Amino acid sequence: MRLILLGPPGAGKGTQAQRLVEKHGIPQLSTGDMLRAAVQAGTEVGKRAKAVMDAGELVSDAIVNAIVAERIDQPDCARGFILDGYPRTLVQADAVESMLAERGIALDTVVELVVDDKALVGRIVKRAEEAKAAGQPVRKDDNPAVFEERLREYYKKTAPLIGYYYAKRTLKSVDGMAGIDAVTAEIEAVLSATAKETVAAK
Ligand code: AMP
């Protein structure tokens, strides 16, 4: 199974991706996590990405496309993967399509988590507080000022993907404001329906 989780920052993509990893045994490919790891390791990519990430802006398409292209060739991706936070621009969406076509594989579905903007800042602040309480590092971009920029980037560059995937008939929208378990159940329902459609089409 290959799916994309789409939605603004704080929509719960990471939380839901982890649940899908547990249930389906396929990896979560979070470009945010990969970029943070590169920053932490002080690699060339990390050095180039750090300031952009701290400002809440998007890292260049060339950098993230290269990271994902390399990652999907790892053996643990053979049975599928969950793209979390990628693609985030139309250029990236075209890139993922070519990447998959070159490998003779296809996307199963794109799940959009529909959320209310006003609730998102509260979620981000809570995420930062929880990380702090657990003694974990707090993300530099999880604060209200940077969050506003991340949200602006989302609407300018990522939200157009909703129309892109809707036109391709691969978009499934799920109510991201429901409780975590309810969202998981809705996503699972979407995945079973998609699997049935695929079988029926064969
Ligand atoms: P995330 O953990 O998904 O919220 O990503 C954190 C930050 O990493 C974003 O605000 C961007 O600066 C960068 N980033 C993550 N994924 C992408 C992507 N697909 N394209 C561009 N920048 C990204």
Question: What is the enclosing helix (H) or strand (E) of 114?
Answer: strand 109-114
**194 C-beta neighbours (distance < 10 Å), count:** 17
pLDDT at 202: 66
pLDDT at 125: 87
Give the torsion through C-alpha atoms of 165, 176, 127, 42, to 10 deg.
-10
- Residue 109, ligand 1, Cβ within 6 A: no
Q: What share of the chain is helix, strand, coil (3-state, %, to 5)?
A: 60, 10, 30
130-169 CB burial, b ≥16 within 10 A, e <16: eeeeeeeeebebbeeebbeebbebbeebbeebbebbeeee
Which positions ≥6 away from 127 have C-beta within 8 Å? 10, 139, 142
Under-50 pLDDT residues of the chain? none
Quote the ligand 1 centre to 143 CA distance (angstroms): 15
- Residue 59, ligand 1, Cβ within 6 A: yes
- Residue 85, ligand 1, Cβ within 6 A: yes
Asked if residues 109 and 194 have their Cβ atoms less than 8 Å apart, the reply is yes
Tokens describing residue 156:
């300018």
CA-nearest residue for atom 2, ligand 1, is: 32
Q: Which of 5, 58, 61, 123 to mutate to test the pocket of ligand 1 (most atoms within 8 A of CB)?
A: 58
- Residue 12, ligand 1, Cβ within 6 A: no
CA-nearest residue for atom 11, ligand 1, is: 58
Q: 90-102 and 160-167 are packed helices; what angle lies between their axes, rounded to 10 degrees?
A: 40
Name the active-site residue from 36, 50, 150, 172.
Answer: 150
Q: State the number of CA atoms in the 13 A half-sphere of 200 facing the CB.
A: 6
pLDDT at 191: 94
Q: Which among 106, 153, 113 is positioned nearest to 13, based on CA atoms? A: 113
